[in-house]
Structure 1
Amino acid sequence: MTPQLHPTSQQRRASPEHTPRLRLKPKASRSGYVDGAWWPHTSDLSTELPDLLAVLSIRLGQIDRVLYNMGEWPISPAKLSTGGRRVRLDGYRRQPVNTIEVIGLGRDRIVLMTVPARTDPGEAHCALMRAARPEDCSTVADLLGSAQHDG
């Protein structure tokens, strides 16, 4: 008889519900307004960023800064400890709506469309997939708008 394995509480915490919901254009692709899309689980930026930055550090190396629109996220700390270093979080009123910009120490950057956390899963999936198409040059508003119609 095969023993039944029951996940420990630590294994349950690492479940897919904490995995960043992220789609990126291929690395060589530099088209459009965004490099991909991210659908956070909540609207708490400091809670959501560590997992996202861990994934993006594969492309960017060590992360230096994250730029976000102040009107879209609750107040966040000025710095976040993640990946063994402190990352600056810079909120701006003029940061394009529904985007974050992640900047590595080497000044490489990834601009992501952010799909609001409470978006319908079908609409969010459509927006993520479209934003990651290599040749898509749609604006963020167009990407989110078309997802409402397609989803």
Structure 2
Amino acid sequence: MDGEWWPRSTDAAAELPGLIAAVDRRLGKMTLRVGLHVDAWSNIPHRIPVAGRAVKVGWFQSMDRGLVTLTINGHEGISLRVIQPEAAYASAPRDPNGAPPVEDRTPAPGAWAGQEAAQDVWEDEGGHFGRSGCP
């Protein structure tokens, strides 16, 4: 698991553009494809328009309902655990530092915080992690 995402609704067409844009900014790379469980979301398009391009959306019944995966150009995939939109802020899962997901409920950058320094060390020592922390 590379992080958590707390969308405002289960409307994929409304929620995915913000997620994709935030992940693209965070990684400095483009998201090529998003995968999600077909029964966990409503209004699932085949493509999502983001920053002048169309990102493919794959619908699956075999994947975890509480998971969204993103395929990133030149990078290994990213898996985000989805916090249900109706979850109360006080009861939302906490990151390793005890902080809840960010209040604006964009992809939780706190889930990646602290991993970047570890990744840089790992890469410098001959290991290989992508920028999201995926081995």
One of 32, 39, 47 as aligned partner of 2:6: 39
Name the one with the larger helix percent: 1
| Aligned 8 A contact 2:13 2:43 in 1 | no
Residues 38-66 of structure 1: per-residue CA shift (max 9 Å, x gap)? 00011111111111111101316111100
The structure 2 residue matched to 1:88, chosen from 35, 51, 56, is 56
**Deviating more after overlay: 91-100 vs 55-64:** 55-64
> Which of 90, 103, 111 in structure 2 is aligned with 1:132?
111
Q: Which structure has the greater CA radius of gyration?
A: 1
Residues 110, 76 of structure 1: alpha-carbon distance in 2 compared, 3 angstrom cutoff: same
- Report the TM-score, using the length of structure 2 for normalisation: 0.66
Match of 2:21 among 54, 66, 74: 54
Say whether the 8 Å CA contact 1:37–1:128 is kept in structure 2. no
Taking the TM superposition and a 5 Å limit, the aligned residue runs for 1:66-77 are: 66-77=34-45
**Deviating more after overlay: 41-50 vs 100-109:** 100-109
Query: 2:36 & 2:8 partners in 1: Cα distance?
Result: 16
What is the distance in 1 between the residues matched to 2:28 and 2:54? 15
Query: Considering only aligned residues, what root-mean-square deviation do their CA atoms show, in Å?
Result: 2.1
Structure 1 segments unaligned to the other structure (5+ residues)? 1-33, 136-151
Distance across 2 between alignment mates of 1:76 and 1:60: 26
The offset of 1:105, in angstroms, is 2.2
> Per the alignment, in what secondary structure is the counterpart of residue 18 of structure 2?
helix
- SS of the equivalent of 1:46 reads helix
* Whole-Å separation in 1 of the counterparts to 2:64 and 2:90: 24
The TM-score, its normalising length taken from structure 1, stands at 0.60
Number of aligned residue pairs: 100
Q: Which moved more, 1:61-70 or 1:104-113?
A: 104-113
**SS of structure 2 residue aligned to 1:71:** helix
